[in-house]
Amino acid sequence: MITPSDAAHKPAREIADPKELLLGYLDYYRSVITRKIEGLAGSDLSRSRVPSGWTPLELVKHLTYMEERWLRWGFMAEQIQSPHGDEDEAGRWHVAPEETAAELIGALHAVGERTRRIVSQAELTDIAAPGGRFSEGDSGPRPTLGWILMYVLQEYARHAGHLDIARELIDHATGE
C-alpha cells in the first residue's frame, strides 16, 4: 500500500503563459492520479470495478505510455522500444504481476519530467517531427506541440474522472 502524499494543487490563477498553464495542469492531474492510487491495497489496485475491465494500475500505466507516445514518439519522433507497452496482444491494457504500484507511479512522474524537458526546448507552435508516430507518408498534417499537449491534458482529465469513480466504488473516497 502506498501512503497518501500532499494534496494536488492547480496552477496559480495569475499564470498567463499558455505553456506553463498546460504543464501546470499536467502536473496537477498526475498528482490527482497519484492521490487516487495512494492508500489502496494491492488487491484493490489490480481489481476492476467497471464493466470495461480496466484496473487502477492499468490506468496509471496507460497514462504513462500515452504521454510517451505523444511527446517522445510523436512530437520528438524518437524511436522508443515499446510505444504500446501498456497493452497486451489483444490491445487491452495490461500490468505484469511483477510491476508494483510504486514503480508505475514513479514512471508516471518520470514521464512528466521528460515532458517538461521536451516542452522547455520548443514552442507551442512547433510541428511534430516526421518519423516515429507521424511518418512522412501519413495523410494529414502533423500536430503542433500545443495540440499534442491539449490532447494529453484531456486524456489525463478524462481518466482522472474515471479513476475518481473507481476509487469511490472501492472505498467511498471522493475529492481531489
Q: How far apart are alpha carbons 103 and 140 in whole angstroms?
A: 37
Domain assignment of residue 141, given as a range = 25-31+60-160
Task: Report CA torsion sign: 135, 138, 141, 146.
Answer: negative
Length of the chain: 176
Residue 12: pLDDT band with limits 50, 70, 90: very high
Query: How many domains does the chain contain in total?
Result: 1
111 is a domain residue:
yes
With vertex at residue 36, the alpha carbon angle to CA 44 and CA 101, rounded to the nearest 5 degrees, is 55
171 is a domain residue:
no
Residue for grid cell 492547480: 10
Mean pLDDT across 72-94: 93
120 is a domain residue:
yes
Write the pLDDT tens digit of every residue in 123-144: 999 999 998 898 766 778 999 9
169 is a domain residue:
no
Residue 5: pLDDT band with limits 50, 70, 90: low
Q: How far apart are alpha carbons 14 and 113 in whole angstroms?
A: 23
pLDDT of residue 135: 78
152 is a domain residue:
yes
55 is a domain residue:
no
Q: How far apart are alpha carbons 72 and 110 in whole angstroms?
A: 13
Mean pLDDT across 151-163: 97
